[in-house]
Amino acid sequence: MTEEKVVSATMMLKSTGLGNTMLLAEPESFSVEGDILILHVQTVSPVQWHIRTGITYRGVLKLLWGMIKSFSVVKFLLFGFFRLKNPRLTGEF
């Protein structure tokens, strides 16, 4: 049985370079630089880093199409507001 953790940030990030470390983060802002959409993220735990991620227009379309095709993502978007106050994360993330 997996133990569920209480999440205190709106984003979770994992990297293979950090091993099993999970970064908790908050999105700060979006900006557009040339043909790339930039997302600025501030991690809050266990370290405080500023992370910039970029995605091209083609990448945004691919992401949106993947979300539309997946029923579980559509279900999450439609019914996710029920978990706004108490989000949980299993150890499988």
Q: Report if residue 89 sits inside a domain.
A: no
Q: Please check whether residue 71 lies inside any domain of the structure.
A: yes
Percent of the residues in the chain that have a pLDDT greater than 90, as a whole number: 37
Q: pLDDT tens for residues 40-85?
A: 999 998 889 999 999 999 999 998 898 888 888 877 777 776 666 6
Residue 21 within a domain = yes
Give one word for 19, left, alpha or beta, with left for phi > 0 and alpha for psi -120 to 50: left
Task: Please check whether residue 28 lies inside any domain of the structure.
Answer: yes
In a domain, 92, yes or no: no
> What interhelical angle do 57-69 and 71-79 show, nearest 10?
90
Q: Which residues form the domain of 50?
A: 5-83
**Residue 93 counted as domain residue:** no
Rounded Cα distance between 10 and 30, Å, is 16
DSSP H helix total and E strand total for the chain:
2, 6
**Overall domain count for the chain:** 1
